[in-house]
Structure 1
Amino acid sequence: MITYEYYCETNGKTVEVSHRMSESLKTWGELCQKAGIPLEETPKTTPVERLISGGLLFKGETSSKKSQLPMADPGCGRSNCCRH
């Protein structure tokens, strides 16, 4: 699973949540439910937007084993990580 950041313009809050790449959260209610946080005073139908970021991949069996993919070697010419 990947960790994404979502921003709510109405309340000015940014929330991190993990979900599959195929999922996309559209509202504050969906975001709060997925993150396990209370709605507070923001209506559940309030739109949220996913922020553009590198994201974190969860590797291993527990969420405590977060790890970012290593950066590609700039001299190798590959667009993805070649791990050499």
Structure 2
Amino acid sequence: MTKADIVVEIAKSTSCEKAVVSTVVEAFMEGVKNSMIKKEDVFLRQFGTFVVKKRARKVARNISKNTTIVIPEHDIPAFKPSKNFAAKVK
């Protein structure tokens, strides 16, 4: 499912114009991104949580050059579904 599909689905179920729904979806996504850039988690009850995970520093190997490289500690965005949501997917 794409963002356009989501906009069409919401527009059908709410009888709102696609342009309005598209603006709301874009604003929602921008809000989530801005919160995560600030290292803040976003909690959506009955859906899940967008979290910022910290990856530890590690040593990896470049197999083609047979060398080792150090990957520094860094943050990554992640999504953790709620228990209800995860149970329905199973």
Higher helix share: 2
Structure number with greater CO (CA < 8 Å, separation at least 6) is: 1
Higher strand share: 2
TM-score, scaled relative to structure 2: 0.29
